[in-house]
Structures are given as structure tokens and as C-alpha cells.
């Protein structure tokens, strides 16, 4: 099951985090579909019906596009079938936020999009899941372990979530190439490997619904789920179908060469995710702050108090436009360089370090 996610990267950062290699071996940075970057809003607490970033083949929008060209789009969570006859999608009487991999070919809401090759990859920092207890439910944040190297490499360390910082420290250079150059080259090739937060890549299907009386088409998606992996079974019996690494993402999206039945073989329970308990603040979808995903001590009965750093992080997220965030140059930030020196001496955990970086970015504005 997947009923809540977090995706906190700015639009240009999402694009950089999705760098891939095409069939010639060239590294490419997917562009956002026209206007879709403005529809996406970073959030610590995304619920169904919200707009989320998804990766898919450009051929869905341009039949002449190369078979392996990817594009980013903003789609609404909760699939609305193309055949739905009402003018208001909220009148659907059943949930399509998740679809079970076992019977995806049995329900026409998912079968038709799958047969047409409408496969997508939902992107997120991670997802939330609730573990049933005697009197309440304990939420957990679940995500890819943050290992060294490219965010698209297969996971090598499935254990301690504190093995690397949200923004990896490069001890050899004061300003890594991926930070110094953010835009595509004229040929569309990506400038440098992304070494920031490795986004969780979840398999999904999408559809395009147009109101019967006319209007703008609505793109929506459903997250495909599988049986929970061994290390997550104690939290919940289901989990999103995770695509691990660039090759699995490529095969899932390449509907021209990888047929549906072969693509479905990628949907397996993978024992590769890590997790930590978080505050019950995430229970309310209106709460959207860093405290939602910060680790908590289950041995303490007190809720974590908001910190000055996390408050500034939230202000920075809500008040800073994506363009300003893209234009910021980490090479010129004294605070960032001081933070890098500090993290070389002692690691305080991936999520905590990320919040510190964002806090210091705010102070440089």
C-alpha cells in the first residue's frame, strides 16, 4: 500500500536527479513537459489527488520521439480511466490510488492503460507507511538507502540510513561539476552526475481523461503495489513496486521494445529499502513541514518540537521560487563550504544534514 509520499526537490533538481543514459550511452537530463514544472509543488506530505512528478517516455506525447527519450510530467495521484463518463472525476466511487500487481490485468481501469503501454515511474523522496499497534498506528518513512555515487546506481548498502548526507560532500573539489552546471547542453546531454538524494522510483500506470463536455485533458496515475519485502512486513503487508536502478527504469518505460507481460516481471518484492519512525504529524495531510519526515525516538513519549532550522527550511520551501533555487550557486556560499567541512568531521545522518544545508541556503539569500 502507498497512501502518502514526500517529494521535496525543486523541479530543476528532480530533472537532474533523473539523469539517464540513452541507447548510445550518452547521458541525458529529461526535460519537463511544457507547463508541467509549474504544476508540481514540492511537499513533505503528499496525499492522493495531489500533483506528483512522474517519468515516462516522450513517445506518449510525440510519436516521432526516440524510443528511449524520457520526459517529466506532473500527474494527479489517483487514476481516472479514459472511459469514465462523469464530468467530475471526484464522482468516482472507488479508489485507484494503488493497483495490485497480481490482478492488474483483471481490472479494466488498469488493464487498458497497461496494454496501451501507458507505464510511468512515480518519483518521491520516499513514502510513509503506518504500523498497527495496540492503541494507535506508528508512521514510518521508507526510502532508498543513500549511498555514495550516482543516484541511479543500484543500491549497495541496504542498512544504515546515516551512511551519507542529503548533499554528498566531495572532498576533492570545492564545487562539484553537477552543482556548477545545471542546464542541458545544446545537444540535450546532461552536464554531470547527480549525487544528491536518490529518489525512490515506483512503477505505475497512467491514463488521460477528457471531460465528456470538453475541457483540458487530465493525466492521472496509480502506484502499483506488491507483497511487502521481508524487512517491511512488520510495518505493512504491501509496498510499492520499486524499480531498482536505471536499467529497470528503462525497461519499464520502454513500452515500444518491452511488452507488457515482460515488463510485469520487474514488479517484485525487493528487500532494498530502509526506514525510520516519524512523528504522528504526518497523519494529517495538511501538515507539510520537515518534522513530517524527521526521525523520532520511539522510546520517548514526547513529540519532537519544531526547531529553528526546520522552521526556516519550511519558509524557504514555501517562499523561494524554483527559478531562484536553480540560480543559487553553492560554490559562492560560505555557509555551504563550512557545512562541508563540518560533515567531513562527523556525520549526523542523511536527513538531518539535508535540513542543515537548506537552512544555510536560506540565510544566504
Dihedral Cα 134, 292, 151, 1, nearest 10 deg: 40
Residue 2: active-site member? yes
pLDDT of residue 352: 56
Residue 248: active-site member? no
Q: Nearest CA to 76 among 50, 45, 41?
A: 50
Rounded Cα distance, 56 and 32, in Å: 11
* 49 within 8 A of 89, measured Cβ to Cβ: no
Rounded Cα distance, 278 and 200, in Å: 18
Number of H helices, E strands in the chain: 10, 15
Q: Where do the structural domains in the chain lie, given as residue ranges?
A: 5-301
Rounded Cα distance, 360 and 335, in Å: 6
pLDDT of residue 3: 87
Query: Cα 195 to chain center, whole Å?
Result: 15
Of the residues 69, 129, 179, 248, which is catalytic?
129
Helix (H, G, I), strand (E, B) or coil at 15: helix
* 29 within 8 A of 184, measured Cβ to Cβ: yes
CATH code for the structural domain at 5-301: 3.90.1680.10
Question: Mean pLDDT, 10 residues at a time, over the chain (365 residues)?
Answer: 89 95 90 94 95 96 91 97 89 91 94 96 97 90 79 43 31 30 44 84 97 90 96 94 96 94 95 94 94 87 47 45 40 41 40 52 40
Which residue reads 501538515 in cell numbers?
287
pLDDT of residue 148: 60
Task: Indicate the pTM of the whole model.
Answer: 0.75
Any idea what DSSP says for residue 298?
A: T
* 273 within 8 A of 201, measured Cβ to Cβ: no
* 42 within 8 A of 8, measured Cβ to Cβ: yes
Of the residues 2, 7, 70, 99, which is catalytic?
2
Q: What percent of the residues of the chain are helix, what percent strand, and what percent coil, each to the nearest 5? A: 25, 20, 50
Q: Nearest CA to 272 among 217, 209, 343, 198?
A: 198
pLDDT of residue 300: 67
Amino acid at each position: 500500500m502507498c497512501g502518502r509520499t514526500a517529494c521535496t526537490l525543486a523541479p530543476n533538481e528532480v530533472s537532474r536527479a533523473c539523469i539517464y543514459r540513452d541507447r548510445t550511452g550518452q547521458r541525458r537530463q529529461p526535460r519537463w513537459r511544457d507547463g508541467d514544472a509549474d504544476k508540481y509543488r514540492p511537499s513533505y506530505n503528499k496525499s492522493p489527488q495531489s500533483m506528483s512528478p512522474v517519468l515516462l517516455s516522450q513517445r506518449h506525447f510525440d510519436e516521432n520521439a526516440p524510443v528511449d527519450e524520457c520526459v517529466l510530467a506532473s500527474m494527479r495521484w489517483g487514476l481516472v480511466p479514459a472511459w469514465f463518463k462523469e464530468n467530475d472525476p471526484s464522482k468516482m466511487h472507488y479508489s485507484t490510488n494503488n493497483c495490485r500487481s497480481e490482478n492488474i490485468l483483471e481490472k479494466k481501469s488498469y488493464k487498458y492503460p497497461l496494454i496501451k503501454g501507458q507505464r510511468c515511474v512515480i518519483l518521491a523522496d520516499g513514502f510513509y507507511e503506518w504500523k498497527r499497534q495496540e492503541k494507535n498506528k506508528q508512521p514510518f518513512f521508507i526510502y532508498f538507502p543513500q549511498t555514495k555515487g550516482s543516484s541511479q546506481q543500484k543500491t549497495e548498502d541496504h542498512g544504515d540510513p546515516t551512511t551519507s548526507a542529503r548533499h554528498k560532500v566531495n572532498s576533492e573539489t570545492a564545487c562539484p561539476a553537477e552543482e556548477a552546471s545545471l542546464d542541458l547542453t545544446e545537444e540535450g546531454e546532461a552536464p554531470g552526475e547527480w549525487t544528491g538524494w536518490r529518489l525512490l522510483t515506483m512503477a505505475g500506470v497512467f491514463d488521460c481523461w477528457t471531460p465528456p463536455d470538453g475541457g483540458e485533458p487530465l493525466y492521472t496515475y496509480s502506484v502499483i503495489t506488491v507483497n511487502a519485502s521481508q524487512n517491511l512486513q512488520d510495518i505493512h503487508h504491501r509496498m510499492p513496486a520499486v524499480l531498482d536502478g536505471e536499467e529497470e527504469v528503462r525497461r519499464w518505460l520502454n513500452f515500444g521494445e518491452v511488452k507488457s507481460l515482460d515488463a510485469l516481471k520487474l514488479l517484485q518484492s525487493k528487500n532494498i529499502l530502509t526506514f525510520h519512525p516519524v512523528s504522528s504529524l504526518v497523519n494529517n495531510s495538511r501538515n507539510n513541514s520537515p518534522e513530517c519526515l524527521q526521525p523520532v525516538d520511539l522510546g520517548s513519549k514526547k513529540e519532537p518540537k519544531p526547531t529553528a532550522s526546520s522552521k526556516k527550511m519550511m519558509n524557504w520551501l514555501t517562499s523561494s521560487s524554483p527559478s531562484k533555487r536553480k540560480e543559487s550557486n553553492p560554490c559562492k556560499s560560505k555557509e555551504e563550504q563550512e557545512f562541508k567541512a563540518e560533515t567531513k568531521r562527523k556525520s549526523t545522518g542523511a536527513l538531518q544534514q539535508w535540513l542543515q544545508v537548506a537552512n544555510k541556503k536560506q540565510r544566504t539569500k
